[in-house]
Amino acid sequence: MIVVMKPGATTAEISAVIQRAEQMGCAVHPIYGESRTVVALVGDLTGVTREVFDAMPGVSQTMRIQEPYKLASRTARPDNTIIELEGGVRIGGPEIIVMAGPCSVENRDQIIEIAKAVKAAGGKVLRGGAFKPRTSPYDFQGLGEKGLQYLAEAREITGLPIITEVMTVEAVPMVAEYSDILQIGARNMQNYGLLQAVGKVTRPVMLKRGISGMIKELLMCAEYIVSGGNAKVMLCERGIRTYETATRNTFDLNAIPVLKETSHLPVIADPSHGTGLRELVPAMSRAAVAAGADALIIEVHPDPDKAMSDGRQSLTLEEFATLMGSLRRVAAAVDRFIDDAPTGEPAQAVKMAELIAA
């Protein structure tokens, strides 16, 4: 860490900084300039926060040199983490995994119909919300455990593993029992109690970046989970809040190569929440694959204009199947791949009705 003193800092103030640093076990290198003194601290500073020095008299500014996250960092582990789900789906390797499903599980038939269509088009994981964080207390809040049961039934029928959101500490055991991946939503990125709770289970966790989360904060939140004992963490970019209103959020694709460079954890892109607009999802899905995402998570619905939530950003099942075809081509162009549809030939939008009816 670097501690920069103010121009008129006194000798006593400088000495206090040096002494404090030495107490913390750092090697200290003061540099006396014409108008200012700079104190460089060397050693293991993981537990040393900048605010300790920020608050001392005579200090102008501080700069951290080492990342404060250790376990999540690429420095700690140069190789990519690959997370394998039951059934063999592997996230973080050369195959790009597509997760898809509705915003909310609405009823049994809906989720089973969608699961079949997702599988037919080549999707490998089924998403669906049973507990929904809603801006208004008067909105639909999800089916709860009933929704989890429908998801499990859809998995049994299709073989697709499932991902679903967990919102409270109390619900962690129940959601972990039903699902293959626990999702921590954007509003809960810094809900530290919840992060600690999912750090104690064995299920993989997908952690969404908060709507105003900095990339380094996302990594610190991942560190909460990994340091708690659960190393199977995936990082999800899902759009940030900026001044621009043409899109619901600003889907920050830059985060993908930044995260791949600074961390070994798999990176997932959510173009549905990222943009909030169905018509932008295909282009931004392709862009996410080109930018290096390890997986995508996409909202689909058989009849988006009747969806109970997020219809505005959901693709129809036909649009999704068509998109899968174009994603395969982009994946190949960046030396990765997306599996063909399970029938052995690319799913075609025109066949979807039959497949779903099956």
Cα 8-12-16 angle, rounded to 5 deg = 110
Which position among 22, 159, 173, 214 is part of the footprint of a second copy (CB under 8 A)?
A: 214
Under the binding rule (CB under 8 A), the answer on residue 80 touching a second copy is no
Number of residues that bind a second copy (CB under 8 A): 107
Under the binding rule (CB under 8 A), the answer on residue 73 touching a second copy is no
Q: Quote the strand ranges of the chain, DSSP E.
A: 2-5, 27-32, 37-42, 59-63, 83-84, 90-91, 97-101, 125-127, 162-165, 181-184, 205-208, 233-237, 267-269, 295-299
Under the binding rule (CB under 8 A), the answer on residue 79 touching a second copy is no
Under the binding rule (CB under 8 A), the answer on residue 183 touching a second copy is no
Under the binding rule (CB under 8 A), the answer on residue 76 touching a second copy is no
Q: Is 274:238 a contact under the CB 8 Å cutoff? A: yes
Cβ proximity to a second copy, 151 vs 240, nearer residue = 240
Under the binding rule (CB under 8 A), the answer on residue 10 touching a second copy is no
Q: List Cβ neighbours of 358 (8 Å cut-off, separation of 6 or more).
A: 116
Q: Of 73, 154, 70, nearest to 108 (Cα)?
A: 154
Cβ proximity to a second copy, 16 vs 349, nearer residue = 16
Work out how close the CB of 133 gets to a second copy at its nearest, in angstroms, rounded to a whole number: 5
Work out how close the CB of 301 gets to a second copy at its nearest, in angstroms, rounded to a whole number: 9
**Rg value, the chain, Cα:** 23
Percent of the chain as helix, strand, coil, to the nearest 5: 40, 20, 45
Work out how close the CB of 95 gets to a second copy at its nearest, in angstroms, rounded to a whole number: 17
Under the binding rule (CB under 8 A), the answer on residue 357 touching a second copy is no
Work out how close the CB of 346 gets to a second copy at its nearest, in angstroms, rounded to a whole number: 14
Cβ proximity to a second copy, 68 vs 346, nearer residue = 68
